[in-house]
A and B are shown apart, each in its own frame.
Chain A
Amino acid sequence: MSAERIAVVSAGLSDPSSTRLLADRMLQAVIDDLAGRGVEASARVFELRDVAHDITNNLLTGFAPKQLAEMNAFVAEADAVIVVTPIFSTSYSGLFKSWIDVLDREALEGTPVLIGATAGTPRHSLAIDYAIRPLFTYLHAEPVSTGVFASSSDWGGEADQVAPLQKRVDRGARELADRLAETGRTEQVDPFSPEAYLGEGGSFADLLTELPQR
């Protein structure tokens, strides 16, 4: 079996950012968990800051410049995706949502997703469940039940001692690894293959007798 492809998207804005730090930890935990099961994984980590202008240009012109197009293609073909966004004004950041808005609507269909978020205060910890998770439900992605939220204090001495950050990271990683292990590699459908849009009959005449449902 070939290596699982994992796409990591971090919407952190500063460099270094705690969002990226969390993303790296989540990825490492997934890779370690998979390694424990004898499954190889390869990953690419993307920073939305690097394609922030491309995202705006895509919104304005309707098409993705090369760097963004390549990133989106990798995300669409990934076996699993890890997304991490800072919480701004009680929700995902505007840049993160803008990226989702220019991603193909079908790009994440059926893809297991591990969600992470960072914020200055633990009082935003539910944002994953009321704001971010519904977004991925809408996209027909498959977000695992644990979302990993890290507030500034999680990185220091005031951290949650009962369920420390790394424990939550490991739990989310295990769920994502479970999903990857049970589904194996996602079959990618080429939207340009006639079988994909014509069905079994293989002729446009079939669409004339039964109009497509889209």
Chain B
Amino acid sequence: MSDTSTQMQFGLMSVSDVTRNPLTGETPSEAERISDVVAIAKHAEEAGLDVFAIGEHHNPPFFSSSPTTLLAYIAAQTEKLIVSTSTTLITTNDPVRIAEEYAMLQHVSGGRMDLMMGRGNTGPVYPWFGKDIRQGLPLAIENYQLLRQLWDNDVVDFEGKFRTALQGFTSTPRPLDDVAPFVWHGSIRTPEIAEQAAYYGDGFFANNIFWPKEHYQKLIALYRQRFEHYGHGTAAQAIVGLGGQAFMAKNSQDAIDQFRPFFNAAPVYGNGPAMEDFTEMTPLTVGSPQQVIDRYAEMRDFFGDYQRQLFLVDHAGLPLKTVLEQIDFLGAEVVPVLRRELADRRPVEVPDAPTHRARVTAKYGDAPARQPRPNANRGDNVTGGSPYQDTPAPAGSAFGVGR
């Protein structure tokens, strides 16, 4: 059995909302919230968590329009933390820019990153970027197909429906160690996205915030079954991540009293169901650390053994001090017990959570990783058939000959 610290990754996912604190009536400035989020991510590492993920939004009251800039800064301030997204918009971003920006993040973070593809949750984001929301699924399929090619091949010819064609294009920098970033695909309802994750052997993430859980069970079961179908391993070996929400205090009544005003005013569920109903219907757990442990130890019974558990803790106007306390509860009381309990019941064939290091070893064994070195600039920007020194020019290549 592998080390319990690498079997599963625990961490945070942030929506990046800038929300009024209902107790004080104060709304943090964007500047305050951005600096708070950096503190939150750093504290996650200090508390022993593995992952910090941030969403992508292009409208107030959210600040995270440029996840790679924020995540690069966080990576520079941390040692072990994996930075990720929840999610990166595969529909409205140019896949070439995703390939470039996230490869860059991969280099500066030393491989401590991955990313999650999503389709966005704000209708107008499509027209803002010149896209049609009715094409959401085809965009996700075609754009990701191109993204994969850009990371997996030095030179790409591509002609699709949505983007100007590429001839002999090289996305730079090449992925770190020539191993593309690990990709999760997030979906809450679309079987084609589960299929896509399975087809490529990528991870599948269910945000798991909105139940009924039967819905996620179907999606994850489908993903696992198709992962096996496409020959990436057994269904039990598919890479699954789950979201979750918790608010804790030493004793549960305090947690309920402290969280209720934030729950009642929260943009997502405010003025909707009572907190008691919502916590019963969804994985939101408001109570003692032990209650959170009990609730999340059950997840494997519903979804199978999995690789990543992310918690939403910094939302709804909760002040920084409270968020940091929540992270302390997770790091000191919840995660160590969950790691142990889940490890005890985990069959040996279930793979560890994905890391860059493990993926490099899987690709190269003990041999050194490929480090692409470009050929000399020939005075133009056209890379032609073989831009890298270790790749022989194809026969008859106009640009490669005689270099």
Q: A residues bordering B, Cβ < 8 Å?
A: 53, 56-57, 60-66, 69, 191-192, 194, 196-198, 203-205, 207-208, 211-212, 214
Contact = CB atoms under 8 A, between A and B. Distances in A.
B216 to A, nearest CB: 11
Contact of B211 (A63, A198, A204, A208): A63
Contact of A63 (B137, B161, B210, B271): B210
29 contacts: A56-B272, A57-B272, A57-B277, A60-B269, A60-B270, A60-B271, A60-B272, A60-B273, A61-B210, A61-B273, A61-B278, A63-B210, A64-B212, A65-B281, A69-B212, A192-B191, A192-B218, A194-B191, A194-B195, A194-B222, A194-B226, A197-B191, A198-B195, A207-B141, A207-B195, A208-B145, A211-B161, A212-B141, A212-B192
A89 to B, nearest CB: 24
A67 to B, nearest CB: 11
The CB with the most chain B CB atoms within 10 A, among A57, A196, A211, is that of A211
A53 B278 CA distance: 13
B192 A197 contact: yes
Contacts of A196: 191
Given A57-B272, A211-B142, A212-B138, A63 B212 contact: yes
A133 to B, nearest CB: 25
Contacts of A69: 212
Nearest to B230: A204
A62 B210 contact: yes
Contacts of A65: 273, 277, 281
Contacts of B277: 57, 65
Given A63-B281, A207-B195, A208-B145, 4 more contacts: A60-B270, A61-B273, A207-B192, A211-B138
B71 interface: no
A186 B272 CA distance: 36
The interface residues of chain B, by DSSP majority, are classed as helix
A196 B269 CA distance: 33
Those 10 A-B pairs whose CB atoms lie nearest each other, nearest first: A60-B272, A204-B199, A211-B138, A63-B210, A57-B273, A57-B272, A192-B218, A61-B272, A204-B195, A192-B191
A211 B271 CA distance: 40
B124 to A, nearest CB: 17
A203 B230 CA distance: 9
Contacts of B137: 212, 214
A198 to B, nearest CB: 7
Nearest to B194: A192
Contacts of A191: 191
A194 B229 CA distance: 11
Contacts of A64: 212
Nearest to A62: B210
A56 B269 CA distance: 11
A148 to B, nearest CB: 34
Contacts of B211: 63
Interface size class of B (residues with CB under 8 A): 20 to 34
Nearest to A196: B191
Contacts of A204: 195-196, 198-199, 230
Interface in B240-290: 268-273, 277-278, 281-282
Nearest to B267: A60
A138 to B, nearest CB: 16
Contacts of B281: 63, 65-66
Contacts of B278: 61
Nearest to B229: A194
Given A66-B212, A205-B199, A61 B191 contact: no
B83 interface: no
Contacts of B271: 60
A197 B268 CA distance: 30
Interface string B172-199: 0000000000000000000110011011
B219 interface: yes
A64 B215 CA distance: 11
Contacts of A53: 273
A195 to B, nearest CB: 11
Contacts of A198: 195
A214 B135 CA distance: 7
A14 to B, nearest CB: 25
A208 B141 contact: yes
A205 B145 CA distance: 10
A61 B141 contact: no
A9 to B, nearest CB: 20
Contacts of A211: 138, 141-142, 161
B326 to A, nearest CB: 22
The CB with the most chain A CB atoms within 10 A, among B161, B222, B230, is that of B222
B33 to A, nearest CB: 24
A211 B273 CA distance: 39
